[in-house]
Amino acid sequence: MPAPSLVERDPQVAPDELVGAMVPPPHFDAVRFDTYAPNPDEPSQAEAVAACAEFAGRIGAGGERKGWLGSLFGKRDSGPAPGLYLDGGFGVGKTHLLASLWHAVPGPKAFGTFVEVTNLVGALGFVETVRRLGGHRLLAIDEFELDDPGDTMLVGRLIKELTEAGVAVAATSNTLPDKLGEGRFAAADFLREIQKLAARFEVVRVDGPDYRHRGLPDAPDPMGDDELVARAEATPGSTLDDFGALCAKLAKVHPSRYGRLLDGVTAVHLKGVHAAPDQSVALRLVALGDRLYDRDIPVAVSGQPLSELFTEEMLTGGYRKKYLRAVSRLVALSR
């Protein structure tokens, strides 16, 4: 029997489901601070664990939300920053630490990627989003990005409103908060907005090599088409798609629904993989790769290797770190 296709799926998420679904993805269900194994050659990793645990303790203490958080954008007394920002390269465990922080804090709380947070505002409206998240103790934002001026203003305003309501904010990114947007749009025009964000985050650096590839072999070579099809048909719950058709499908699905697109899938098989033809396609593949990694879904391909998804030009541009993270995660899944 032919394997089903992702292209045939029509993922839908009702607005009322969105807030309830803001929890760490399955890959990070069981992570805790004590399951993070700091690299002894990278002292910043152990320091990051301690900083996250201390931040979680401040939130969990309760009764101090208004006092110690203050206003992210306004004037505040000296003391702990209202936000925690984990900065470092890909594959150093930042999402592990962010999810551990989320698990350590009593609810109500929310965890989502940057694109999921912005989509939440689009689905519910700004006022309703603030109302629903305003009573939370913590908003954890993974993969924090400011890819365009509109997102800069939106996220800035949202964080301002939430922190004024006493919500702690923790985030991860591969880019320091005062550098967000660099190389992607006229960041100088929005420097004031970016600096307002940066000034109120305690930045914690997490250094080290990509743990996903420490001592591991290279990704397997692509399969032949016939072998790929046979494997897909023999694997219960797997899908099989033409790579070009899947790229076209992703253009019609909001990235916040990519996770729902993968519900129940045990393995993904992609036929005829080739380099992304443009930046828009490439960024959608990054988002899909992140959701595959979140769910530990293996990936098998024919055509070009997954390490060649992004062109040399893309890998030297403003989204370089996003693309490298995606390659790291997809190659790990292909093993």
List the chain pLDDT tens, one digit each, 335 residues.
788 999 999 988 887 788 888 999 888 999 999 999 999 999 999 999 999 999 999 998 764 454 444 433 344 445 556 789 888 877 789 999 999 999 999 999 999 988 888 888 988 899 999 999 999 999 999 988 766 667 767 877 898 889 888 899 998 876 655 555 444 434 444 456 666 666 667 888 898 876 655 544 567 889 999 999 999 999 999 999 999 999 999 999 988 889 999 999 999 999 999 999 999 999 999 999 999 998 999 999 999 999 899 999 998 887 887 888 888 889 989 98
Domain 212-334 in this protein, CATH class? alpha beta
Distance CA 130, CA 29 (A): 26
CA 50 to chain centre: 22
Which one of 2.60.40.10, 2.40.37.10, 3.40.50.300, 1.20.120.140 gives the CATH number of domain 31-209? 3.40.50.300
- pTM of the prediction? 0.77
Instruction: Determine contact, residues 295/262, Cβ cutoff 8 Å.
Output: yes
From the CB of residue 156, how many other CB atoms can be counted at a distance below 10 Å? Answer: 19
Distance CA 190, CA 149 (A): 7
Domain ranges in the chain with CATH number 3.40.50.300: 31-209, 212-334
